């Protein structure tokens, strides 16, 4: 969220018509609200999927997963590796 706030400030502080900046910010916030890093319904049953989404969105890194169970870490790290290989192809 802190990263997003800084990006919003940068958008509003830039050159241009104030109303254009306002509407650009409104559109950006509307899009950002859909990201898991901004809004996620938390439950144990969907925790792994939320963490995968957060990894994909760059809201968290593998280092942020320190302290989670070895089973969860293994499956998430496998996912990260598969995603990396997919991007590299």
* Whole-number CA gyration radius for the chain: 17
Rounded CA separation 18/3 (Å): 22
Residues 6+ apart with CB under 8 A from 53: 35, 36, 37, 40
pLDDT at 60: 83
pLDDT at 9: 93
pLDDT at 52: 84
pLDDT digits (tens, 9 = 90+) for 38-66: 555 667 777 888 888 888 878 888 888 88
* Angstrom distances, CA of residue 43 to CA of 7, 40, 46, 47, 51: 29, 9, 6, 6, 11
Average pLDDT, integer, range 69-82 = 85
Calculate the average pLDDT of the chain. Answer: 82
Confidence band, pLDDT 50/70/90 cuts, at residue 15: very high
How crowded is residue 43: how many other Cβ atoms within 10 Å of its Cβ?
A: 8
**Residue 66 gets which letter from DSSP?**
T
Residue scoring higher pLDDT (24 or 34): 24
pTM equals 0.48
């Amino acid at each position: 969220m802190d990263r997003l706030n800084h990006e919003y400030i940068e958008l509003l502080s830039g050159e241009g018509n104030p109303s254009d900046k306002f509407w650009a910010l409104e559109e950006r916030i509307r899009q950002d609200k859909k990201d898991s890093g901004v809004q996620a319904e938390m439950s144990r049953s969907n925790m792994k999927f939320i963490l995968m989404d957060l990894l994909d969105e760059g809201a968290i890194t593998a280092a942020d997963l320190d302290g989670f169970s070895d089973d969860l870490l293994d499956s998430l790290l496998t996912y990260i590796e598969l995603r990396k290989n997919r991007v590299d192809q």
